[in-house]
Amino acid sequence: MNFANELSRWYNTNKRSLPWRDTNDAYVIWLSEIILQQTRVEQGLPYFNRFLEKYPDVRAFAGASEDEVLKLWQGLGYYSRGRNMLKTARQVVSEYNGVFPVKYEQLIKLKGIGEYTAAAISSFSSNEARAVVDGNVYRVLARYFGINEPINTTRGIKLFRGLADDMLDREHSGQHNQALMEFGAMLCKPKKPDCSICPVRLSCIAYRDDSVASLPLKLKTVKIKERHFNYFLVSDGQSLLMNKRGDNDIWANMYDLPMLETPGAVQAEVLIELPEAKELFGEDIGIKSSYLARKHVLTHQHIYAQFIQIAVPAGYQHLQKYTRVEFGDLDKIAMPKIIYSFLNNLINT
């Protein structure tokens, strides 16, 4: 059985119709690839459509402000992707006169484009013979060949990349790569793959050995950091104070609320007595309401966010570093999802 032929046959019958599939426009492919990183197609598709409508080409994208891009990106997470896209678009305009490159060696030098994305854009747009290895491809190869090497070790990465390269249909590399990724996303899924209707099951080692559920192997290496954000809501009923975040931490350059980070959970009554809280809001802080802490899960961090509505002493002068935003203007600024949903609930209920 020829795996590549079976794969191609399966793909032609089963592929989803997606707007970035029927184009060789490198800009459109780049837009879809970055938006879909760490994101499900159903979630990313409306963002892709909105971005393409607002910025139909790379020059239009390059002319956007960072605030506009972050606002459009809001809710998608991993915000550095949006910021890097703007840098990439500007780089394409300045270095390539607004013509998006299609060659791997040029793409790999652009901001925010790694080996995977460069291989995807070059093979999809110009059929360059570059094997794409994403999570779907690792899974399919590990199962089909019954490979017990973890996919996140240097040795494993080298092995799987070599294998993907050996299998690449060099005449039709774009279609081959798309087919392999689609096969992993639709049929050889992480959980409950559809082995019973799989066209290559008779030559699949994991299927034969009943080890489908345990492959691919992955070493657990990431240590999750827990962080406690105590947010203060300072509002006069029509507007509230917002804080523009710096660019050295998560949610860079987005807006959240005035905040104190503490090493562990701290009750509101204890929090307002801390010298750091008094430095922010004065000696006499009154608690109006406090809300149960919410957990927000990021890849390497778990954020526990507590919200406390406070009254600040009249005439307290040290709030200039914050931005006063009218409730009606909250939709115009980019903020992390946890802040957006808290404020949305509060104001609309």
338 binds ligand SF4 (CB under 6 A): no
142 binds ligand SF4 (CB under 6 A): no
Q: Identify which range of 33-41, 149-157, 161-169, 205-213 contacts ligand SF4 by CB under 6 A.
A: 205-213
144 binds ligand SF4 (CB under 6 A): yes
Show the 3-state SS of 100-122: CCCCHHHHCCCCCCCHHHHHHHH
Give the pairing type, strands 259-262 and 225-233: antiparallel
188 binds ligand SF4 (CB under 6 A): yes
Backbone angle region of 112, left / alpha / beta, with phi > 0 → left and psi within -120 to 50 → alpha? left
Q: Find the shortest distance in angstroms from Cβ 148 to ligand SF4.
A: 14
Residue 348 DSSP class: H
Q: Identify which range of 8-16, 70-78, 119-127, 187-195 contacts ligand SF4 by CB under 6 A.
A: 187-195
Helix (H, G, I), strand (E, B) or coil at 311: strand
Q: Find the shortest distance in angstroms from Cβ 155 to ligand SF4.
A: 22
Residue among 214, 118, 138, 210 at smallest CA distance from 180? 138
Contacts 24+ apart (CB under 8 A), 275-280: 277/232, 279/318, 280/232, 280/318
Helix (H, G, I), strand (E, B) or coil at 23: coil
Q: Which positions from 147 to 186 touch ligand SF4 by CB under 6 A, shown as an x/- string?
A: ----------------------------------------
> CA-to-CA distance for 308 and 229, rounded, in angstroms?
11
Helix (H, G, I), strand (E, B) or coil at 78: coil
Choose, from 6, 33, 115, 261, the residue flagged as catalytic. Answer: 33
308, β-bridge pairs: 232, 290
| C-alpha R_g of the chain | 24
Helices 80-96 & 26-36 angle (0-180, nearest 10): 160
Q: Find the shortest distance in angstroms from Cβ 179 to ligand SF4.
A: 13
Q: Which positions from 211 to 250 touch ligand SF4 by CB under 6 A, shown as an x/- string?
A: -x--------------------------------------
Q: Identify which range of 56-64, 193-201, 240-248, 268-276 contacts ligand SF4 by CB under 6 A.
A: 193-201
Among 102, 206, 254, 303, indicate the residue that binds ligand SF4 (CB under 6 A): 206
143 binds ligand SF4 (CB under 6 A): yes
Among 59, 90, 103, 201, indicate the residue that binds ligand SF4 (CB under 6 A): 201
Residue 20 DSSP class: T
Residue 328 DSSP class: G
Q: Identify which range of 76-84, 206-214, 308-316, 317-325 contacts ligand SF4 by CB under 6 A.
A: 206-214
Annotated catalytic residue 53? no
195 binds ligand SF4 (CB under 6 A): yes
Interacting residues toward ligand SF4 by CB under 6 A: 140, 143-144, 187-188, 193, 195, 198, 200-201, 204, 206-207, 212
Active-site positions read: 33
